[in-house]
Amino acid sequence: MDARVPNTERTVYVDLDGTLIHSDLLWESLFLTARQNPLLLVRLPGWIARGKAVLKAELARHVAFEAHSLPYRQSVLDELARLKAEGRRIVLATGANERLARAVADHLGIFDDVMASDERINLTAERKLSRIEAEAGREGYDYFGNSHEDLCLLESAAEATVVAPDRAASRWQKRTGSTLIGHEAGRLKMAIKAMRPHQWMKNLLIFVPIVLAHEFFNLEMAEAAILAFVSFSAAASAVYIVNDLLDLQADRRHRTKRNRPFASGLLSIPTGLGMAAGLLLVSVLCALLLPMAYAVVLAGYLVATTAYSFALKRMLLIDVMTLAFLYTTRIIAGAEATGAGTSFWLLSFSIFFFLSLALVKRYTELVDFGTGADRASTGRGYVDADVETISQAGMSSGFAAILVLALYINSPEVARHYESPWLVWPLCPLLLYIIVRMWILARRNQMHEDPVVFILRDWRSQLMIGIGGVMFLAAAYV
């Protein structure tokens, strides 16, 4: 290129996927299709067979796309704003489909033109280079890119800016000394965060059957429970990742969920798919070392969570009932893995107790969305008018759980299993304290995390659980 041409006369061409935004619109539109119209996924093989350009066009045609919610790179936007103020002509040049690219350009309002893929041409690499060189002419061009597909464009540009590069683009940038923007670090930390290890505390429910069976020192049962815990935790993390990928657009509308690794674009969708596959493999390998009944329960859990992710979570009341069932499934999994067994009383208590916690979760989510929340904005089956009903149903379910516990304590089973049954009675007011306090904090808008995690982190709840544990042991052995 002729370096004597003033840079103010050169057009600036900006890549979209991975450069202007953290994410990739092909993967975004694929998961939007899976969320909005999963039946269309059966047509994917035909679209793929007709070429990448057709695949991008068909996906773009069928999704309800929100350009304003994308995870834009603020550092790139700031630089483009500076160039625009200097009078530079800026063009969005992308391999994304033109429908999505124009929606992005219209939203940002800084681009003078759009150059994108259509049904016939997948505008990447050499094809994009030919189009740009034909338009730019002797003045040459400046280019913002990030990947190995951009190398030919970066090489030919008068001035190249490399944004958060992949390995190939990073090597090129180091060799040439080109401008670098937004080098990303901390991916391991983001990957761990995406797995939500704090949610593994829910899987402590797997140990409930051996605790209630007083098999504290049975090493064989303990080993089986630990293995089931690892298996369930890996499976749950895989499900959380897939769920986050399906909920990208809804999460980006949320005040806090927009900062999740995938919603923010700090982890890519392909990375998430690889993580989910690896975690699922770990879960299955652990399950193979446990009784077949456990594997059946785990399979049921995965089917239920998949159904929840795709459809059930948007259904009024079905969603919270499913969550209560999934919590209870962990107890059943522990019983099948260890052979400790379970009871009608335990399962009844679990359903009512965890239904109350699930309703707390929906209540706090709905309150966070604020006045005017509807099904479209929340991604759930609730609107702002449902807040009071959810609260009443949740507290009633919590009281029902305490009633089941009281009936159990007064049953012949307790008299047979405990030396001092009367010492079990304090469990009722202790759990009542936890449930009512949790709802009071939710009504005050002072609880912004999963209620199970809240209980396990809150020192007052921990104190109640500790006192209850002491009373339980005293009733069994004193």
Query: Are 193 and 111 within 8 A, CB to CB?
Result: no
Last residue of a domain, which of 143, 163, 181?
181
Residue 144: predicted pLDDT: 97
CA–CA separation, 442 vs 8, rounded Å? 56
Q: What would you measure as the largest C-alpha separation in the chain, in angstroms? A: 95
Both 203 and 348 in a single domain? yes
Residue 100: predicted pLDDT: 96
Residue 3: predicted pLDDT: 46
Both 198 and 62 in a single domain? no
Q: What distances in angstroms separate CA 457 from CA 101, 122, 167, 301, one per listed residue?
A: 45, 51, 41, 25
- Distance, CA of 467 to chain centre: 35
Query: Are 338 and 221 within 8 A, CB to CB?
Result: yes
Q: Residue 136 sits in a domain of what CATH number?
A: 3.40.50.1000
Query: Are 115 and 131 within 8 A, CB to CB?
Result: yes
φ, ψ for residue 141, nearest 5 deg: -155, 160
Dihedral angle, C-alpha 290, 293, 298, 300, nearest 10 °? 170
- For 280, the domain range is 188-477
Both 310 and 400 in a single domain? yes
In a domain, 2, yes or no: no
Both 207 and 261 in a single domain? yes
Rg (alpha carbons) of the chain, rounded to whole number: 27
Both 73 and 196 in a single domain? no
Query: Are 161 and 139 within 8 A, CB to CB?
Result: no
Count of domains in the chain? 2
CA–CA separation, 96 vs 116, rounded Å? 6
Token duo for residue 400:
């029902």
CA–CA separation, 469 vs 24, rounded Å? 50
From 207, 396, 432, 206, select the one nearest 320 (Cα to Cα). 396
Q: Residue 467 sits in a domain of what CATH number?
A: 1.10.357.140
Both 192 and 176 in a single domain? no
Query: Are 13 and 91 within 8 A, CB to CB?
Result: yes
Residue 377: predicted pLDDT: 65
CA–CA separation, 71 vs 415, rounded Å? 60
Query: Are 332 and 298 within 8 A, CB to CB?
Result: no
In a domain, 200, yes or no: yes
Both 112 and 197 in a single domain? no
Per residue of the chain (478 residues), give pLDDT as tens.
444 455 677 999 999 999 999 999 999 999 999 888 888 999 999 999 999 999 999 999 999 889 999 999 999 999 999 999 999 999 999 999 999 999 999 999 999 999 999 999 999 999 999 999 999 988 899 999 999 999 999 999 999 999 999 999 999 999 999 999 976 667 888 999 999 998 898 899 999 999 888 887 889 999 999 999 999 999 999 999 998 998 888 888 877 888 899 999 889 999 999 999 999 999 999 999 999 999 999 999 999 988 887 788 888 899 999 999 999 999 999 999 999 888 888 999 999 999 999 999 999 888 887 776 666 666 677 888 888 999 999 999 999 999 999 998 888 877 777 777 788 888 999 999 999 999 999 999 888 777 877 887 888 988 998 998 888 888 877 7
Residue 2: predicted pLDDT: 46
Residue by residue, DSSP assigns 61-103 as HHS---GGGS-B-HHHHHHHHHHHHTT--EEEEEEEEHHHHHH
φ, ψ for residue 33, nearest 5 deg: -65, -45
